[in-house]
Amino acid sequence: MSVKNMFLETRPQFLLLSPILAFLGMAIGLRDNSLNWPYFLLSIVGLTLLHASVNTLNDYHDYKTGIDLKTNRTPFSGGSGFLAGGLLKPSAVLAIGLGSFIIAIPIGFYFLLRLGWNLAPLFIIGAFFVLFYTSHLTRIGFGSAEISAGLGLGTLPVLGTFIIINGGFTYQALYASIPSGFLVCNLLLLNEFPDADADKTANRKTLPIILGHRKAAIVYSTLVAATYLWIVAGVILQIMPAWTLLALLTLPVGIKAIKGSLTYKKLEELIPAQGANVMIVLGIQLLMGLGYVLADLI
């Protein structure tokens, strides 16, 4: 069994999201605190391990339900393809997913012992999303899959890292973490478009299945717009520093993603929109974090 394939099964090209989430949470927390490098680095490691766990458990469940054999795979969706291609055994992928989760647990306990049990609700909710996202949450409907992704790999990691760096909760930090939820919700939502037919066979109830492509694209577009408006409103209300308006530099890419979601007819036409979607998800959060750092320095 190839170690390289086991590593690639975690989809490392997408794990960049986790350090950016930690960076944003750290940057928000720096406004009133000095940087604790060990805490920051441990946050990155813990989030990356949990993200890898989600990715591999998703592949495992998709293979066991047969979805993996029916998806129209793109560079951004449809899983790694290692199980469908026979390059890895299901037991190995399950072991990677559960192993990554288990390795992250001591990091969580370390923070609980050092900083207090006020972090416990965030960690418990996050763990629930990691373990049950694919197997259960995708089958509930009502946007549960997309919302849980936005919370579990967006808002909660940013807020959790802030609490770790800051030593406590603030409503300003909660406000600043909301755009991450919008963005990661959308990251999943657009990538669900090409998988809708395959997901139906496993009784999944994602928004593209429930609403259809056109209405799901409107939801996607609304969340992109809400992200930019949320940042602008935060600056106007003086909840967020003016430097976070740097995130608006991604607006042309956001418009490209919106147009692609609304107008595509063939899978090949969706791929550029998926790429633009990844760029705004990473770019907006990175530029927001940079904005907080600059506001602290200038």
Q: What is the CATH number of the domain that holds 19?
A: 1.10.600
- Which residues of the chain, if any, have pLDDT below 50? none
Q: How far apart are CA 159 and CA 161, in angstroms?
A: 6
Compute the mean pLDDT over every residue in the chain, rounded to the nearest whole number: 94
- Give exposure, 67-77, as e/b (b: 16+ Cβ within 10 Å): bbebbeebebb
Q: Look at the chain and report how many structural domains it folds into.
A: 1
Q: What pLDDT is stored for residue 202 in this prediction?
A: 87
Residue 177: which domain range?
Answer: 3-297
Residue (of 19, 78, 3) closest to 285 by Cα position: 19
Q: What pLDDT is stored for residue 271 in this prediction?
A: 94
Residue (of 246, 233, 254, 259) closest to 293 by Cα position: 246
pLDDT per residue as tens digits for the range 190-222: 999 999 989 999 899 999 999 999 999 999 999
Residue (of 194, 78, 54, 72) closest to 137 by Cα position: 54
* Contact criterion met (CB below 8 Å) for 200 and 209: yes
pLDDT per residue as tens digits for the range 261-282: 999 888 888 999 999 999 999 9
* Contact criterion met (CB below 8 Å) for 11 and 57: no
